[in-house]
Structure 1
Amino acid sequence: MPIVSQHQDQSTYAIWRIEESEAWFLEQLQLSAAEHAQLEAIKGWRRMEWLAVRQLVAALVPGAERAILVKDEYGKPHLHNSPLHVSISHSHQLAAAMVGKKVLGIDIQQIVEKIGRLAPRFLSPRELAFIHPAEHRIAHLHVCWCAKEALYKAYGKREIDFCDHLLLDPFDYQTEGGSFQGRVIKDEFEATFALKYSKFEDCMLVTATILEV
């Protein structure tokens, strides 16, 4: 069931704890033939994640007809016949979705210790230098990882280097959540995004919303 809903700057995001059965989601969503075909190609727990994010998007975009997710040539999700932007994410028992009028992205990840070993793969030396050195280091790193994932989803195209093309401004980690800025710079594309983060249970959540020039 939806457990968190937050409005921010012409957008709304929500988190769903996946507790329902597959049959429950199928009854609620009434999938089209094309959607059924997509679902049949998915195995295991990923089926539940696929269903949950669609149920969440349906809850965020109320209307006479259910908002249907389609993907473009790069795999970025869009809402069929809608000008709204959408982004989705999931981690273990949680699904997250964000819908709004501006280019946006969302990412949720379970907090795990091994991210400390992986940090140099997605953070530049400049970014590693501002990471909290002690008790909040793992949480701080997860904010950075989720922020870059959210930026990547907002950009929506492939061939992105997380260290070179997704850039984070320095920020101090706050246990109560906080905000900072990041940029996507790739070829002729350059945009700045407002990034907001919060910890939910054992997961970190970050949203990215493009800033008007």
Structure 2
Amino acid sequence: MPLSDRFDLPHGTVALWKTDETEAELRTLCTAGECAYAAERFSSESRRREWLAWHAALRQIVPEAEPFYLPDGAPAIGNALRIGVSHTEGYAAVFVAKSACAVDIERKERDFLRAARRYLSPEEEALCAETAGALSPGLVWCAKETLYKLAGGKRTDLLRDIRIAGFDLCGPSIHSTVAGKPFRLGTIPHEELHIVFGAAERE
């Protein structure tokens, strides 16, 4: 299907794509170079579809985009724009902003408590309870994954270095820190997904 949702935000644009097309259909929405790259890089059809889907979503925001990868592996495009990418079963998301940015999506049905010891502190678990479920373990996971991507993933531990400090229902937004540095993340309500995004302050 075409773009599922588009969210124009103060810091950029998030595009959400529901990947119910076949690989052949997605290939018609991407460049020949992107199709060749996907075929060469990914042996799994599902991975090729995910990769092609976020490129199709990106072209809905920046039609002339030519994505490439930075030395640290993060995706980027020209025109002084940066992008964040995420995908989960059935969906792909792209966040386009003028500064370093990241987005993370996960299906709400996933059992996030199975990995709780790896990412969820007792203080964060208590915070989830205090918000009566508005801040859930799933949102905490997505927030920490978003911050991990923003930090470049280097020497950053989800439990030790990334902390969730508060949740603002008016945003809704998540207050957090990475190695003591404060970050404010945004969330987007969705029936099936947890969606969290963030952008670094422009220099």
TM-score (norm 2): 0.86
The CA deviation at 1:94 is 0.8
Shift of the 120–41 alpha-carbon distance from structure 1 to 2, 3 Å rule, reads same
Structure 1 residue 39 corresponds to structure 2 residue 36? no
Structure 1 residue 107 corresponds to structure 2 residue 113? no
The CA deviation at 1:212 is 6.0
Q: Deviations over 1:14-54 (max 9, x none)?
A: 1011122222222221222x761443231121110000001
- The answer to whether the Cα contact below 8 Å between 1:193 and 1:211 also exists between their aligned partners in 2 is no
Structure 1 residue 207 corresponds to structure 2 residue 193? no
CA distance in 2, matches of 1:133, 1:126: 10
The size of the alignment, in residue pairs, is 201
Counterpart position of 2:174: 180
The CA deviation at 1:90 is 0.9
Q: Which runs of 5+ in 1 are unaligned?
A: none
Matches within 5 A, 1:183-202: 183-185=177-179, 191-202=181-192
Q: Which runs of 5+ in 2 are unaligned?
A: none
Structure 1 residue 96 corresponds to structure 2 residue 93? yes
The CA deviation at 1:75 is 1.9
The letter of the residue matching 1:183 is T
Structure 2 counterpart of 1:171, from 144, 149, 167? 167
The letter of the residue matching 2:62 is V
CA distance in 1, matches of 2:155, 2:39: 27
The CA deviation at 1:116 is 1.8
CA distance in 1, matches of 2:139, 2:201: 19
- The answer to whether the Cα contact below 8 Å between 1:191 and 1:210 also exists between their aligned partners in 2 is no
TM-score (norm 1): 0.83
CA distance in 1, matches of 2:58, 2:202: 25
Shift of the 129–212 alpha-carbon distance from structure 1 to 2, 3 Å rule, reads farther
Counterpart position of 2:9: 8
The letter of the residue matching 2:125 is L
Please tell me the root mean square deviation across aligned C-alpha atoms, in Å.
Answer: 2.5
- The answer to whether the Cα contact below 8 Å between 1:74 and 1:157 also exists between their aligned partners in 2 is no
The CA deviation at 1:58 is 1.4
SS in structure 2 at match of 1:206? strand
CA distance in 1, matches of 2:202, 2:29: 37
CA distance in 2, matches of 1:97, 1:39: 21
Counterpart position of 1:30: 31
Counterpart position of 1:161: 157
SS in structure 2 at match of 1:130? helix
The letter of the residue matching 1:123 is L
CA distance in 1, matches of 2:93, 2:133: 24
